[in-house]
Amino acid sequence: MIEIKNITKTYKTGDVEFKALNNVSFSIADGEFVAIMGPSGSGKSTLMHILGALDSPTDGTYLLDDKDVSTLSDDELADIRRDKIGFVFQSFNLLPRTTVLRNVMLPLVYAGIHGPLREKRAKNALISTGLDEAHFHHLSNQLSGGQIQRVAIARALVNNPSLILADEPTGNLDSKTGEIVIGTFQKLNKELGRTVILITHEQEIAEHADRILFIKDGELTENKTTHKKE
């Protein structure tokens, strides 16, 4: 599904160039659960933005389902992001004075899904994350960190994306809530066969993945299969 070949990303600030990714190559198969680990500033989020077609590499190729992403038009990229990819960011990006249910229905509005089906799909996505139905009509700024994170996950998967990208989804959660949230990703991966790529700095969390990619100073330093924790 994903093939990254000799990807380099150089950021330019004024006259200063900074190489955030340096000659990174790997592939990820359909249905894999992969964790990306590395110190702060090592290039993890940069890589995630490239994988999500939100940013393009300075050099190298990215094949997503055998398509060279660099050859796609902006419209085609927007379609891919909407139909194929579910994003869970560290800053949750929920609309604050808006109910949980409306937040999760939003991607369906953009996808042109109307009426009762929209609400039904949003509710099912929320239920799959284990969020109590009592919260569906609460405003998102009335929820705890763990609850917000589940809403963010529900919103990412409401369009049935085949690829789920999560940038430190458990970063601000206590370890117990983190385990619950990671359980949602595991379920999506195992039961629904979704490809999951998750950035984390916690070894405990990474061990739920099939494989861990380690990044340091913009370089892939290790690519190792785990003894997956169930």
Ligand X SMILES: Nc1ncnc2c1ncn2[C@@H]1O[C@H](COP(=O)(O)OP(=O)(O)O)[C@@H](O)[C@H]1O
By the criterion CB under 5 A, which residues form the site for Mg ion?
44-45
Does position 20 interact with ligand X (CB under 6 A)? The reply is yes
Closest to Mg ion by CB, 45 or 149: 45
Closest to Mg ion by CB, 48 or 85: 48
Residues 193-222 that bind ligand X (CB under 6 A): none
Burial track 96-130 (b if 16+ CB lie within 10 A, e otherwise): eeebbbbbbbbbbeeeebeeeebbebbbebbebbe
Closest to ligand X by CB, 90 or 162: 90
Computed from CA positions of residues 223, 228, 229, 230, in that sequence, does the dihedral angle turn out positive or negative?
Answer: positive
Does position 161 interact with ligand X (CB under 6 A)? The reply is no
Closest CA to 36 of 229, 228, 216, 227: 216
Binding residue (CB under 6 A) for ligand X from 6, 17, 41, 124: 41
For residue 198, list its beta bridge partners. Answer: 35, 166
Binding residue (CB under 6 A) for ligand X from 43, 52, 60, 146: 43
Does position 45 interact with ligand X (CB under 6 A)? The reply is yes
| CA distance readout (Å), 9 to 71, 73, 102 | 17, 20, 36
Applying CB under 6 A, which part among 42-50, 92-100, 136-144, 221-229 lies near ligand X?
Answer: 42-50
Computed from CA positions of residues 113, 115, 119, 124, in that sequence, does the dihedral angle turn out positive or negative?
Answer: negative
Could you tell me how many residues of this chain bind ligand X (CB under 6 A)?
Answer: 12
Closest to ligand X by CB, 44 or 135: 44
